[in-house]
Copies of this chain bind each other. A is one copy, B any other.
Amino acid sequence: MRVVLVGAGNVATHLGLALKNAGHEIAQVYSRTSISSSALANLLETESCTSLDSLQAADLFVYSLTDNALEGVLSEMTQTAGIHVHTAASVDLSVFADRFENYGVFYPLQTFSKEKEINFKQVPVFVEANTAETTAFLKELASALTDKVYVAGSEQRIKLHVAAVFACNFTNYFYTIASEIIEKEGIPFDILKSLIEETASKINFLSPYEAQTGPARRNDTVTMEKHLGMIENENYNMLYRQISQLIADKYKC
């Protein structure tokens, strides 16, 4: 199948690689900036372009853009045949309505960075489309890339995304806060890695509710006050106070 990638970021990179590995032809990579489009086009050994007017015809157009950028690109889209899908968790299927005949959503629930390889077989993919036929097509397409294919409506997908922001994006930000705190003490971040690994692995054996530990879980007010006295960054101090209170409240009753 001939695929055009519209967007050249983290998701486009990993999905493009997975599609290519599954035997599809990546006909072209579009990005607004030539650095991004060339980099991904080189990686996928295909053509790059920076103008929507130069887009080729294809069987499948995959839009992996920030939600802010998607509507602008769609309004200038020149190719209307083929199946058009976006990969955005939080954009409704209806963004495509009245523009194309066949369209859908192909949302891979994972954190992608260009620099980090991924085993796509383990990535859950949520599909949705405007017709039963296109839904079936996207399910089949996804099944060639991953063992975890689901159909989900736009409302469910956005809830999944909110959950993923807490479980992944905010969690990773807390790794950053932790690294700042200990690196300031001259302790390498590496020392926290087995703790982080165990925290993530534990929920395969216990629910996260059961897995909770720490001063707030024990309502250990002496420790929490000591910690607050040591956290100089006022934003981190505020987060520590609020989240500890929420945990303590949850386990008190």
Contacts and interface: CB of A to CB of B under 8 A. Distances in A.
A191 B179 CA distance: 28
A202 B156 contact: no
Q: Which secondary structure dominates where chain A touches chain B?
A: helix
Interface in A105-159: 109-113, 115-116, 118, 122-124, 148, 150, 156, 158-159
A100 interface: no
A203 to B, nearest CB: 6
A51 interface: no
Given A223-B90, A246-B173, A206 B115 contact: yes
The bracket for how many chain A residues form the interface is 35 or more
10 contacts: A110-B194, A111-B211, A163-B192, A168-B214, A169-B215, A174-B174, A193-B204, A199-B200, A235-B246, A239-B246
A165 B10 contact: no
A182 B155 CA distance: 11
Closest 8 CB pairs of A and B: A169-B214, A175-B208, A200-B200, A167-B178, A163-B178, A176-B208, A163-B181, A166-B174
A230 interface: yes
Interface in A210-237: 210-218, 220-223, 226-227, 230-231, 235-236
